[in-house]
Amino acid sequence: MKTQLKKFWNFIDGNKTIICMSTATILQQAVNSGILNDSKGINFAIGLTITLGGGSLFHHVKKGYFSTKKGGT
């Protein structure tokens, strides 16, 4: 049985890197602009989205999405 997070992770397949890195960028810009207060929670959320986006990017590289044979298994 898959957990809810795993189901969500599979649902956004193919867009994880963009979604996570965009979210981190938006949060960081909101902090820099004064829209959000700089707090441990916001810093954790930014770090988490960067980590998930980086993991997703690594997964793309591992599967060969950036090579000449795209989407290898």
The model's pLDDT over 1-60, given as tens digits with 9 standing for 90+, comes to: 578 888 877 777 778 888 989 999 999 999 999 999 999 999 999 999 999 888 888 877
Amino acid in the structure at residue 51? T
Alpha-carbon distance of 42 to 50, in angstroms, equals: 12
Q: Is the full-model pTM beyond 0.85?
A: no
64's tokens:
């060969």
